[in-house]
Amino acid sequence: MEGLTIPEAAIRLGVSADTVRRRVKSGRLKARREPHGRNHQWLIDLDVPAMSQRGASEGAAASRSIVRDLQPGEPDRESLASLRALVDELRVSLDQARTELDARRAEVARLLALLERQAAGSS
């Protein structure tokens, strides 16, 4: 199976390269180390063919998996830590999406104003 490099996987998942590395280290993403010239590179195997740009579907699937593995009674610390890390990542992703949306709205407003000025000038 072909894999994605860390930067490619980060773009596909809509997260940082460091987040991809953390997910590989924690086992949440499958990866393998391949020779690359004199060094090596990590290739990430993404099982889901069409991941969301922001990684929300991947995050939701991961949280469902973690929650499904919890047993009744006292939740284990590793699962709670994984859920907390996932929530933190999703919050950062949401903040980034909001910032990008605000920038797009401002851009659309500028373009509409420009169009209105051009329409008024050609009348």
> What are the tens digits of pLDDT across the range 81-108?
878 888 888 888 898 889 989 999 999 9
Instruction: Please provide residue 51's backbone torsions phi and psi, each rounded to the nearest 5 degrees.
Output: -75, 150
Q: Which domain holds residue 19?
A: 6-122
Taking the CA atoms of 22, 26, 32 and 33 in sequence, report the sign of the dihedral they define: positive
Q: What is the pLDDT of residues 9-66, one digit of tens each?
A: 888 888 888 999 999 999 889 999 988 888 888 999 886 443 444 455 555 555 555 5
SS3 at position 70: coil
Q: Is residue 1 part of a domain?
A: no
Q: Domain total for the chain?
A: 1
In a domain, 117, yes or no: yes
* Residues contacting residue 38 through CB under 8 Å, at least 6 positions apart: none
CB 59 within 8 A of CB 91: no
Q: In what helix (H) or strand (E) does residue 32 lie, and over which residues does it extend?
A: strand 30-36
Consecutive H or E run containing 87: helix 77-122
Does any domain span residue 116?
Answer: yes
pTM for the model: 0.40
User: In this predicted structure, what is the pLDDT of residue 10?
Assistant: 86
